[in-house]
Amino acid sequence: MRVSLTLSHDQVKTVLTESYVAGLDVGTTRIRTVVAQPDPRGALRILGLGVVPADGLARGIVVDRDKATVAIKESIHRAQVRAGVEIAGAYVGVSGAHVACRNVTGRVHVPSGEVGHGDIEKVIQSARDSVRTGPEQQIIHTLVRDFAVDGERSIARPEGMRGSRLDVEVHVITGVGSIIANLEESVMAAGVRVLKHVLEPVATAMAVISEAERDLGVILADIGGGTTDVAVFSEGAICHTASLPAAGNHVTRDLAQLLRIEPQDAEAVKRRYGVALAEMVAAEETVKVREVGTEQEMRIPRRLLGEIIQPRMEEIFNLVKENLILAGFYETVGGGVVLSGGGAQLVGAARLASATLDNLPVRIGAPHRLTGLEDSVDSPSYATAVGLAMMAAHDEAWAMPTRPATGAGPWWESAKAWWKQTILPAVRRLAAPQAPRR
């Protein structure tokens, strides 16, 4: 019998390569490393996760390199142990008030009459060249929003199209070079190469925003500890990004100061009993808190928590609104608002956001299209780290072989077993001399 060995392209890739991707979210409160494997069907297989409390960070940037390095190293180590692979490089998130964005255009003449790869590179470069950056600034992303050939817009893939003029609209994101360098050096000192810096809301959007929402127009607000990061999509493309200096830590600080309790108690009470809208709590409900510096417990109305939290959360959503009005994009979103980040987990956050943002529909976004250890990252807090790994998988699928650590992960063991039991015997049978045909 002749054995047919028809391995699909995907199966060959699955068996013959050991490719892993890693996303590293160096947040103000937590450092999260996600190790994953690109799944040829478009999902992301989560292999390992390392989460540690952040150190040496404030407002989304590194303020103490040594402390940050120690914390990053520990986060990477935990993810590596869990995944059973060694990470050589990672996609790393960038955030903070130093980030700025603008939309610019570029135009080139197409001498051959057919748009080639070189023309596309040239037109994007011409758009980049039109951005005036200060000496301290560097371009982090140049994201294409639209191409037009001979004035005809919405050309998704101009390569190979007939035409004599190519135009592009791009969203350019810049950041302060020294701030990005400090982050990069902390990551490198932790033993990992930065494969790419990615603006955090761009990565978060990858994990939580659907294509339909991008087309309709959508606001993403990632409420972290130190910053609330915003990204706006319109007609399928990113058109605005911003990092605003108020987030979950401000809520915790308000509670600690106004209730006179320890910050860690304020954090715990916020997570357990906090609400974004005071009216969500019955007037008679009370909770116990411990007065700062004493062991003495006191009972306070739970509604008081809402009364303290609500103005700060309203301030955050108003900052988002003002920022978008100023940038001219507030009116362009038909798809509503997606909240993510740890701060989105506050009870009532979506309701208050909708009330503040003129009744736009608001939903909480958690990463989707995952397999493997998906349960451990299925929360808005992990959206950025997962999005970074997704971007790495998207850009670099199968191109970043990583050395398996001793005792490689379960996936690799089962792939090897499948190779040995199913494919090798088939290959051997094929290679064996065939009996002469009669």
Ligand X SMILES: Nc1ncnc2c1ncn2[C@@H]1O[C@H](COP(=O)(O)OP(=O)(O)OP(=O)(O)O)[C@@H](O)[C@H]1O
CA separation for the pair 365, 317 (Å, rounded): 16
CA separation for the pair 429, 75 (Å, rounded): 47
Residue 224 in contact with Mg ion, rule: CB under 5 A: yes
Minimum CB distance to ligand X, residue 337 (Å): 17
Which of 245, 222, 238 is closest to 101 using CA atoms? 238
CA separation for the pair 12, 157 (Å, rounded): 28
Minimum CB distance to ligand X, residue 203 (Å): 11
- Per the CB < 8 A criterion, the answer to whether 207 and 170 are in contact is no
**Among 75, 80, 95, 182, interactor with ligand X by CB under 6 A:** 95
* Closest residue to Mg ion, based on beta-carbon distance: 224
* Residues between 230 and 269 with contacts to ligand X, criterion CB under 6 A: 247-249, 252, 267
CA separation for the pair 32, 75 (Å, rounded): 6
Minimum CB distance to Mg ion, residue 25 (Å): 6
- 224 or 336: whose CB is closer to Mg ion? 224
In the three-class reduction of DSSP (H, G, I as helix; E, B as strand; rest coil), residue 148 is classed as: strand
Minimum CB distance to ligand X, residue 69 (Å): 17
- 84 or 365: whose CB is closer to ligand X? 365
What is the number of helices (H) and of strands (E) in the chain?
A: 13, 18
**19-38 mask for ligand X (x: CB under 6 A)?**
--------xxxx--------
- Per the CB < 8 A criterion, the answer to whether 349 and 276 are in contact is yes
**Among 23, 341, 372, 409, interactor with ligand X by CB under 6 A:** 341
The one of Mg ion, ligand X, none whose footprint includes residue 56, by CB under 5 to 8 A per kind, is none
- 176 or 203: whose CB is closer to Mg ion? 203
Minimum CB distance to ligand X, residue 322 (Å): 19
- 411 CB contacts (<8 Å, ≥6 apart)? 37, 45, 47, 372
DSSP string, 390-419: HHHHHHHTT--B-PBPSS--HHHHHHHHHI
* Residues between 266 and 295 with contacts to ligand X, criterion CB under 6 A: 267, 270-271, 274
Q: Positive or negative, the Cα torsion across 353, 356, 362, 367?
A: negative
**210-229 mask for ligand X (x: CB under 6 A)?**
--------------xxxx--
Strand partners, 199: 94
For tokens 């994009």, the residue is 329
**38-77 mask for ligand X (x: CB under 6 A)?**
----------------x-----x-----------------
Which of 340, 328, 279 is closest to 93 using CA atoms? 340
Please give the torsion angle defined by the CA atoms of residues 140, 144, 145 and 147, in that order, rounded to the nearest 10 degrees: 160
Minimum CB distance to ligand X, residue 375 (Å): 17
- Per the CB < 8 A criterion, the answer to whether 419 and 104 are in contact is no
Minimum CB distance to Mg ion, residue 179 (Å): 16
**Among 346, 353, 357, 392, interactor with ligand X by CB under 6 A:** 346
- 31 or 400: whose CB is closer to ligand X? 31
* Residues between 368 and 407 with contacts to ligand X, criterion CB under 6 A: 381
- 134 CB contacts (<8 Å, ≥6 apart)? none
CA 401 to chain centre: 22
In the three-class reduction of DSSP (H, G, I as helix; E, B as strand; rest coil), residue 246 is classed as: coil
The one of Mg ion, ligand X, none whose footprint includes residue 249, by CB under 5 to 8 A per kind, is ligand X
**Among 342, 365, 372, 387, interactor with ligand X by CB under 6 A:** 342
**Among 23, 27, 56, 158, interactor with Mg ion by CB under 5 A:** 27
- How many C-beta neighbours within 10 Å does residue 41 have? 8
How big is the site for ligand X, counted in residues (CB under 6 A)?
25
Minimum CB distance to ligand X, residue 131 (Å): 26
Minimum CB distance to Mg ion, residue 406 (Å): 33
Which residues would be at the binding site for Mg ion (CB under 5 A)?
27, 224, 384
Which residues would be at the binding site for ligand X (CB under 6 A)?
27-30, 54, 60, 95, 224-227, 247-249, 252, 267, 270-271, 274, 341-343, 345-346, 381
